[in-house]
Structure 1
Amino acid sequence: MANFFKKLFNSVRSGQSVIGIDIGSSAIKIVQLRREKGAAVLETYGTLALGPYAKREIGQATNLSQSQKVEAIKNLMREARVTSKDAGTAIPFSSSLMSLIDMPALDEAELARIVPIEARKYIPVPISEVEFDWWVIPKQNNLPTEYENNKPQTETKEAANFGRVDVLIVAIHKETIANYNAIISKSGMKSSFFEIEVFSAVRSVLEQNLEPVMVVDMGAGATKLYIVESGVVRGSHIINRGSQDLTLSVAQSHNISVAQAEELKRSVGLGISEDGKDLKTVIETALSYMLLESKRILESYGRKHNTVVSKVVLTGGGSVLKGLLGHAQKEFGDTKVVLGDPFSKVETPAFIRGVLTETGPEFAVALGLALRKLQEYDRG
């Protein structure tokens, strides 16, 4: 088995405070934690909109250069008074490949020979151009409750008890790794690991549930769907629409600027403004495709695996929209819908607890990275 991710996940001990950094398309999020008396304690956190760096409005997706991202990170670290340089960094789901493939139940040595060959069918570039790893995922009746060392539990000898096994393959283009490494380094930090954002989000918003749960991560430019069962990501999907599409719909419907629409969306949500602008109808219409597609994926997984997805967890900056939770609950029917609360996993000052509960979903990935980094530090 390739050992790239093992090397990538090795711990670095250089201080008690650690940070997780999530470089999104519309904003950068950062969380700094420390370990105190066995508990993870929040030291600082912050977010910085990237739209102005691309001469676009706040909330809009961007495609910044490396130097622009470095400038933004430095500004955020200064504004949030970040002191640590020890980081864990997210790789966007869209910049990675993750697939669950069905394979014969062979011993590990034979799988090590066959899996890279089979994986070429799923990786659209030469395998020499990517960093690649894989794990055998335990069968449903033998699943663990969470990742050991923050990656999937594996089967080797146990696999021989079954005719077929599921193999999770993960690939990240080498250029992507090099680019993010350069950004972090030029920002004055050192990242001991780069983790696909799905694993960071799952770590921060899910408990050790055995039953299937869907995580809906609503970003500015896209919405990511992850189905997690017993700590294993068993399904993933990208919807190429996000919160900026809601803003654009508001702007077009009411003939106002994108900046005005974004401000109105954030303050009113699924409601009616003081001057009578109906955002509820406009936003619900724009949301319909995203929610219907999410529900379709959820129901398809249930039919395929003869199970029921017990809960939907909303995360990402788009999920904090006022009124979204109630509307989503109506769309998903009997399936319970909740807002992710990543800050519930760390100790925080009581006077900002309410604010953190409201804004928490936006920091799911960054906090999940910081938790991972703390675990590495603890293991020494």
Structure 2
Amino acid sequence: MKKTVLLFPFLLIIFCCRAQYKNDNLLFKTVYPESLCGELKKYPGALILDVRSAGEFNDTSFSTGLNIGRLKNAINIDVRELPKQLHSLDAYKDKPVFVYCSHSQRSRRASKLLADSGFHYVININGGMTAIRALDDDQVPCSKTLLETKNKYAVIPATDLCRQWKDHQKNIILLDVRPDSAWQHITSNPKVNAMGSFKNTMHIALDELSSQINNLPGNKEIILTDNFGADAAKAASLLVDKGFAKVSVLLEGIDRWLLTSNKNTSCKGLYIPAVSYSIISSAEFGNLVKDKTDHLILDVRTQDEVSNKAKESYKNIGHMKNAVNIPYTELASRDNEIQSYRNKPVYVYAFSGSPEAYMAANTLVQKGFTNIKLLAGGLFNIRWTAANVVNMNHLDDLVTDVPSENK
């Protein structure tokens, strides 16, 4: 059985680019994707600057899940090259400059650099290309004229998957291309094992797809799913090359599905969980703990991380208010400290979507805790959602003790 190879493009990006939001709407302006059409219409002569890698910009990146198109008329300067190429943008120092990347981490670095270098009207696009692609046409009405891609397959958000499943079930095939071990939830990674699947999904592992391609109907749309979007993108390219006309990929796979709230009625019954505990989004967490106290918020990071003393400085991002810290490595021997919450909501979180939180959730279930809710994306995603998703800034109030260098 082939081992599961994990690629976390979002995490690789955030780890190399410190998450800072303190400059938003102070040093530079920000705009949500929902307002982007209107803002671009105001400034027809604005510069659109894409600071992703050349591979991402051209849909040729090795991280295939990040090949999701670009904004039309954008110019590309990799954020790593931007300091050396600032002079080429001098003509725009007094004009609007819209800056974006994939998830709005690199673009914030670029926006700060531009503002510090004398550019007077810099606008960071919150959430980046993934946030734009996660919205439907009603939310970004200019998307058909705003977006372009070299991909020969479609990248669809969760809302489109819900709509297709609700209205056109007979005309679509859901195909999961995860490795067998991930599909069967028997990998060495508890996070991967916790990822469920969608109802009535067919499974063919990516490395077996070529030999089984004749088992797929050519007259239906094939919607590809996986853990993080990379394998599905590779499978989509293969199917298109083999003559399949209607092929789509779920944006960033099941991982993004879990990071966002998809509990609307059209999605009811579509997602089948793989674990007995709940995996909830940042938005859901905010709603569940609002004005309530009869629950436990459990931080399973190391004591150094909680106290902002981690050697990897990007991990020093404070902690949830009123959280109790029991490192996941100590939880099995210290569960007696939280026995009063055995049948009450226990919200488990770590730094991000790392396996530690999933290990802790599994331990609590084994110890007889009955109402475990794991925060997808952890503390990092609470702060990211607060900064990048419209009407979610209140989530920032749930976090305290963030060092100034990471605010």
* Larger relative contact order (CA 8 Å, sep ≥ 6): 1
TM over 0.5: no
**Structure number with higher strand proportion:** 1
**TM (normalized to structure 2)?**
0.26
